[in-house]
Structures are given as structure tokens and as C-alpha cells.
Amino acid sequence: MAENRALFFFDYVDATSWVVELWLAELLPLDGLTVDRRPYELKPPPEVPLRPSDPEWATSRLWALPTLEAMGRTPVNPSLVPWTRKAHELALHAAREGCYAHIHAALFERFHEGGVDIGRIDVLVSIAASAGLNTSESKAVLDVDRYAEEVCEARREAEELGVRGAPTILAGHKRLERPQGFDELRIFLTSLGGAT
């Protein structure tokens, strides 16, 4: 079967994005389907960062909580919602170093379960160290914004493709925004050519 490719636009501070990522971990790999992760900053700088009281963010989180708890996760109430550009930069660096999956999971977990400010470079360097990345190199990469343009470009790509928020999965002309359940995501992915 020919390979089909889907793009998954997400942000680390979005609880619904984390739910979709956990569902993807259960569903993938599907025969003939590849899902590429793409950063989508909900509030890129210099926009004012999200606050825990912002209605859209709070609604997304409240929707995700029962699903996360049913999956054995223990979300906490964060005191702030940081910008995520640096977190996405670290993930891109980790991809180049061969440890994307570990960093990707840790960024979701540290924010949603630990309430950690994943916008801070010192916190991100600690996460990098936990994955075995060189801390000096990781700090330097973040200090000089080595992957900042790639993060910005991913947001531009999303906007050109009509993405209005995270999480969104695109494949050709097919689109799934904020799936409301595991089965909706499974049916969407299998419709792209993956085996059930």
C-alpha cells in the first residue's frame, strides 16, 4: 500500500493536543500511514501569553481532563501558560539528535502533570539532560534561537493550509480539528489508507 502522510499540528500547553498525542501512540503505526508532528504555537510572541482563565484554553483543558485521568494521567492546575516557542525549539533539536519521542512526551508531561514552566530555558535544559542530550549544546541552541524560524515557519504553513488552532490533523484535503473521541480519530486515520 502506498504511504500516506498526515500533518499533526499541536501545542505543548494544549491539553487536547496531549490527548490526541496519547491516542496516536495507541493507534500508530497504521499500515501505510505516517503522521508528521508540526509545532503550532497557540500564542506566538509577542502576543500576550495565554492565561489559565482564558475561556478557550480552560474549555479545552476541562474537556481533556476526564480522558487524561482515565488514561492514568494526573493533570495539575498550572499557575501560568507559557509561550512554547522554546519548547518546540528543543523538540526540533531533539529530532536532529535522535531523541524526539522522549523530549516530545516529556514536554507534555512536565507541563500538564508537573505544572512546570516549559517556556524557561533552564527547565528545558533539564528536560534535555533527562533525555541524554548534551546540556551545554542544548542551552546554546536555545539561547541563539537556532530553531525559532522553523517553529515560525510551521505556524505560517499551518495558516496557509487553513489551520485555525490545535490540535488539527491534515491529510491532503481531509481535515480533523479537535477530535471529540478516540473512535473519531481512528476512523479518520484509517480513512487515509491505514489498515484497521
Instruction: Please give the Cα distance from 22 to 156 (Å, whole number).
Output: 25
32 has a pLDDT exceeding 90: no
What's the average model confidence in pLDDT over 47-71? 95
Say what the pLDDT of residue 131 is.
94
CATH number at residue 88: 3.40.30.10
Q: Closest Cα to residue 21, out of 172, 179, 187, 146? A: 179
Residue 71 lies in a domain: yes
Omega of the bond leading into 29 within 30 degrees of 0 (cis): yes
Q: What is the pLDDT of residues 125-182, one digit of tens each?
A: 999 999 999 999 999 999 999 999 999 999 999 999 999 999 999 998 899 999 999 9
Total number of domains constituting the chain: 1
Domain range for 33: 4-191
Residue 196 lies in a domain: no
